[in-house]
Amino acid sequence: MTASPIQDESRLCVHSITTKPWTIEEAAKYYAREGVAGITVWQNALEGRDPKIVGRMLREEGLTVVSLCRGGFFPASDAKGRQKAIDDNRRIVEQAAALGAPLVVLVCGAVPKQPLSVSRQQIQDGIEAIRPEAEAAGVKLGIEPLHPMYADFRSAVNTLGQANTMAEQIGSPSVGVVVDVYHLWWDPDLESEIERCGWNRHLFAFHICDWRVPTEDLLTDRELMGQGCINVPEIRGWVESTGFNGFNEVEIFSTRYWGEDQLEFLRKIKRAYRSAS
Ligand code: ZN
């Protein structure tokens, strides 16, 4: 099922990293002025700032704070490293609570040469360790599977099936998954795995962009929706058919677009959002 066309920006969220050259104050001002409804805040945007004050400023601009990106990176080759990751994630949960973000997106991590299965167990153990604090703070944790090209050190969780299994094993309403079309579009099981997490009520967030053809950089060459090879409306249709009615979050890392006038870029995002999402 392809989703019905998007008519307005009431469910449009933009990740602060998408307009990286802007400060968080600039992003807030221009997002609000352009009718963007939500913002996902990346940690770099909070550097040197009090998250409580930033959260208040965003809400005063009329924006909904959708999530904080990002926690995770749990695996490490020794116990000390794993403990440090857990401590760091506890601080990130506190930061999200102060910001007023209901969700922390987890980029789970991996250790090169360590078996991926070992890293996955360490990820699960790490999430279990911070779960009580997250629950107490009212902050959810979203496991975001990353494309397998990032399995070296960014994430040992590479399919939605793996993320779903982990969330189900943890078995808490506070732990779920994040679907990002960039990472998952290629997966032949994507539709059924979206159905699985949707009906289990642990589909927490939906990230969109496009896969540029040919891609020239594995991290910072993402495209606007409609400019690459991902059928975003089809995937959005699968997501919405589970009853998901959260934000469509535009997350584009692109040195190409970061080099442009950011207000022009934001307007391009709005056009692509309506015409190709
Ligand atoms: Zn994402």
Is the residue at 5 inside a domain? no
Mean pLDDT of 194-202: 90
Going by pLDDT thresholds of 50, 70 and 90, the confidence category of residue 1 is: low
User: How many angstroms does the Cα of residue 233 sit away from the middle of ligand 1?
Assistant: 17
pLDDT in tens, 236-274: 999 999 999 999 999 999 999 999 999 999 999 999 999
What is the 3-state secondary structure of 121-183?
Answer: HHHHHHHHHHHHHHHHHCCEEEECCCCHHHCCCCECCCCHHHHHHHHHHHCCCCEEEEEEHHH
User: How many angstroms does the Cα of residue 208 sit away from the middle of ligand 1?
Assistant: 7
User: How many angstroms does the Cα of residue 17 sit away from the middle of ligand 1?
Assistant: 11
Going by pLDDT thresholds of 50, 70 and 90, the confidence category of residue 198 is: confident
User: How many angstroms does the Cα of residue 149 sit away from the middle of ligand 1?
Assistant: 15
User: How many angstroms does the Cα of residue 46 sit away from the middle of ligand 1?
Assistant: 18
Please answer whether residues 253 and 44 qualify as being in contact, where contact means their C-beta atoms are separated by less than 8 angstroms. Answer: no
Is the residue at 77 inside a domain? yes
User: How many angstroms does the Cα of residue 207 sit away from the middle of ligand 1?
Assistant: 5
Q: Is 86 helix (H, G, I), strand (E, B) or coil?
A: helix
User: How many angstroms does the Cα of residue 252 sit away from the middle of ligand 1?
Assistant: 9
Segment (H or E) for 13: strand 12-15
Domain count, the chain: 1
pLDDT in tens, 24-54: 999 999 999 999 999 999 999 999 999 999 9
Tell me: pLDDT of 2 over 80.
no
User: How many angstroms does the Cα of residue 76 sit away from the middle of ligand 1?
Assistant: 22
Is the residue at 38 inside a domain? yes
Is the residue at 173 inside a domain? yes
Residues above pLDDT 90, as percent of the chain: 96
User: How many angstroms does the Cα of residue 251 sit away from the middle of ligand 1?
Assistant: 6
Going by pLDDT thresholds of 50, 70 and 90, the confidence category of residue 201 is: confident
Which structural domain, as residue segments, surrounds residue 172? Answer: 12-276
Please answer whether residues 207 and 239 qualify as being in contact, where contact means their C-beta atoms are separated by less than 8 angstroms. Answer: no
**How far is the C-alpha of 102 from the C-alpha of 13, rounded, in Å?**
14
The pTM (predicted TM-score) of the whole model is 0.97
Is the residue at 155 inside a domain? yes
User: How many angstroms does the Cα of residue 144 sit away from the middle of ligand 1?
Assistant: 7
User: How many angstroms does the Cα of residue 110 sit away from the middle of ligand 1?
Assistant: 17
Is the residue at 1 inside a domain? no
Tell me: pLDDT of 85 over 80.
yes
Is the residue at 7 inside a domain? no
**CATH code for the domain in which residue 109 is found:** 3.20.20.150
Is the residue at 181 inside a domain? yes
